[in-house]
Each structure stands twice: as C-alpha cells, then as structure tokens.
Amino acid sequence: MRKIKKQKIYLLALLLPFILFVIGFEIGPLAAMIKNSFYADDGIQVTINQYLTIFKSDFYMKAIQNSLVISLISAVISVITAVIAAYSITKFSQKIQNRLLMITNMTSNFEGIPLSFSYIILLGNNGLFTLLFAKMGLDVFADFNLYSWTGLILVYIYFQIPLAVMLIYPSYQGIKKQWKEASSLLGGSKFSFWHRIGIPVLLPSIVGTFSILFANAMGAYATAYALVGSNYNLLSLQIASLVASDVALKPQLGSAMGVLLAVTMIGALWFNEQMMRRIRRDLR
C-alpha cells in the first residue's frame, strides 16, 4: 500500500510542468485580466467604472456595434452560402466530393495577413481588378472601397465560407437516403420532406455553425489589422490599441473590453454546444 502511494507522488510530480503552464499562460492571464478590469486607470482604486465608461462611450459602443454587425452579416451570408453549396457538393460523385472538400479545406487555411494582402492587390486602390474594371469603364467598383466595412465583410466572408462548408457538409450525411424514401412512400413531396424532416434535422447544425462563425469573426484580429489598421472602429482593434499601442495605453479599460469579448465568444460557443447536444440526442 505504501509503495503505491509513493509512486503516486512521483507521478504527480510529472504533472507539475503542465500545471505551471496552465497557470502561467492560461488561468493566470485570464484572472489578471478580469481583476484588472475592475481597477481605475491608476491601477489602485477598485471600481466598475471601466465597464460604465464602455457603456457610456459612443465611441466604444460603436466599436462593439461594428464588430457585432460585421460578425452577424458575415456569418449569415456564409451560412446561407454554405448550406446551399454543401448540398450541391453532395450531388457529385464521392471522388469529386473529396476533391471539393480538399479545396475548401486548403482555402480555409488562407486567412489573416496573407488573405488581406491578396485582397489588397486584387481589389485595393491600385488593385488588379480595380484598375481593370476602371479601364473597362465598369462603374460597379467605382464606389467600392476595400478599406471600409463593406471591404471587411467581403474578406470576412471569404474566410468564413470554407469553414462553414466543412462544418455543414457532414450533417447532410446524417440525412439518410431511407428517410427520403420513407417520406415519399408515405406520400410526402420533395418539398414536404425538406420542410418537415430535412431542415429540422439540419437546423441545430446550421445554428451551431452560425454561432461558431460569429465567434470566429468577433475574435478576428489579423485580417482587420492588415486591411484597415486602426482606421476602423472594431472591438478587437480597439482592445489591441488600448493594451499594446504606442499611444494612450489604458490596460484597465482594455481588460474590461477583453472580458466583454470573451463573454460573447464563450456565450456563442456555449450556444453551439447546446445545439450539438441536441443533434446527438436526435441522431441516437
């Protein structure tokens, strides 16, 4: 007995590095941020003023609003595109399906700084398409400005779509062919199958994917940073400039905004988890 106990202590010691890393780089920073968000700018006085400042400030509320709007719009458009595209993909042969998924998979890795750069050379002020269209006399892009929120949404959608397709595609596999057959044997039309069976089965996965995309866009930093620098008022860009810019450091305020962002993200992911529970329950 004693021998076994001694061995356990030895094993516990092997867990120490992990515990240190988790405390030092995961729990510690989170706790520090939460704590810091309840201090005044001087770092001494305990207060909830930082949160009040955010909610009273038109500027910061606008940042939150912009982030929410961009995330919502890009998520909605991407999910709708993906629902249709993934369905179309299932219509091809298995081999082509695999190829297509590989392409989505590969392009899903194209994001952040390189992606923004690509868009700049294609659609930026001196972008290839911009110049080409101008030369061809097409006005479609005359009003278009990549460095604005329409530009941001365009780029966000680009990196959201492959992800959305990869997340939604598997749930089409969950719709069994027999269901369709059973439905038509029972006298259902194609429309009534999708209306009564298909969509309800897909719904949790669609909603779940939506919340992941939403969270993904809320937390995105590199893409926006590369595209609009600090010229555009976004939550993630504001947080960055409050804690790590050369001017006007306000770490306490930044912490409070960080907490708000984290809460939003965790809320979205929690929501997704609830949806997935439902899927699993339904399918088993």
Partner 1 sequence: MKSLLSFHKALVGLLVIYLLIPLIGTFLFSIAGKWDHTILPESYTMKWYIELFQDERFFDAFQRTLFLIVMSVGLSIVIMLPTIFIITVYFSKWERLLQAAAMLPYGIPPIVGAVGLIKLYSNSLIPIAGTPWILIGAYFITILPFMYQGIRNSLRTINAVQLVDAAELLGATKFQAFRTVVFPNIISGILVSTLLSVALLFSEFALANLLVGGRFETLQIFLADKLNSSGHLTSAIVITYYSVILLLTGTVLKLTFKNEKNPAGKKKNRVLSLLRKQSRDKKFALEGENS
Partner 2 sequence: MSYVTIDQVTKKYENQVVLNDISITLNKGEFATLLGQSGCGKSTLLRSIAGLEDVDAGRILIDGKDITNLSPRQREVGMVFQSYALFPNMNVFDNIAYGLKMKKVKNIKSKVAKMIEMVDLAGKEESYPHQLSGGQQQRVALARALVIEPKVLLLDEPLSALDAKIRKSLQKELKRIQKELNITTIFVTHDQEEAMTMSDRIFVMNKGNVVQSGSPTEIYTTPVNTFVANFIGNYNVFKMDTFRKLVRSTELKGDEVAFRPEVLKLLPIGEESQDLQENWRLKGIIKDVSMTGNILRYEVESEDFSFHVDDLHHRGAIFDQGTHIQIILPKKECLFL
When asked if residue 11 is in the footprint of partner 2 (CB under 8 A), the reply is no
Q: What is the C-alpha to C-alpha distance for residues 158 and 156, in angstroms, rounded to an integer? A: 5
When asked if residue 170 is in the footprint of partner 1 (CB under 8 A), the reply is yes
Phi, psi of 39 (to 5 degrees): -115, 155
When asked if residue 63 is in the footprint of partner 1 (CB under 8 A), the reply is no
Among 54, 79, 146, 254, binds partner 1 (CB under 8 A): 254
CB contact set of 148 (below 8 Å; sequence gap of 6+): 228, 232
Among 61, 69, 131, 138, binds partner 1 (CB under 8 A): 131
CB contact set of 74 (below 8 Å; sequence gap of 6+): 153, 156, 157, 160, 213, 217
When asked if residue 1 is in the footprint of partner 2 (CB under 8 A), the reply is yes
What are the angstrom distances between the C-alpha of 277 and each of 140, 166, 167, 204, 274? Answer: 45, 19, 15, 9, 5
In the complex, the smallest distance separating the C-beta of residue 2 from partner 2, rounded to whole angstroms, is: 8
Q: Pick the closer one to partner 1 by CB: 64 or 218.
A: 218
In the complex, the smallest distance separating the C-beta of residue 149 from partner 1, rounded to whole angstroms, is: 19
Site for partner 1 in 109-128 (CB under 8 A): 109-122, 128
Per DSSP, the three-state class of 125 is: coil
Report the partner that residue 240 touches, choosing among partner 1, partner 2, none (CB closer than 5 to 8 A by kind): partner 1
Q: Pick the closer one to partner 2 by CB: 1 or 9.
A: 1
CA 161-166-171 angle, 5° bins: 120
Q: Pick the closer one to partner 1 by CB: 22 or 48.
A: 22
When asked if residue 177 is in the footprint of partner 2 (CB under 8 A), the reply is no
When asked if residue 95 is in the footprint of partner 2 (CB under 8 A), the reply is no
Residue among 205, 164, 202, 154 nearest 82 (CA): 164
- Half-sphere exposure in the Cβ direction for 246 (13 Å, CA): 1
How many chain residues touch partner 2 (CB under 8 A)?
3
Q: Pick the closer one to partner 2 by CB: 1 or 46.
A: 1
Q: Pick the closer one to partner 2 by CB: 3 or 284.
A: 3
Residues engaged in binding partner 2 (CB under 8 A):
1, 3-4
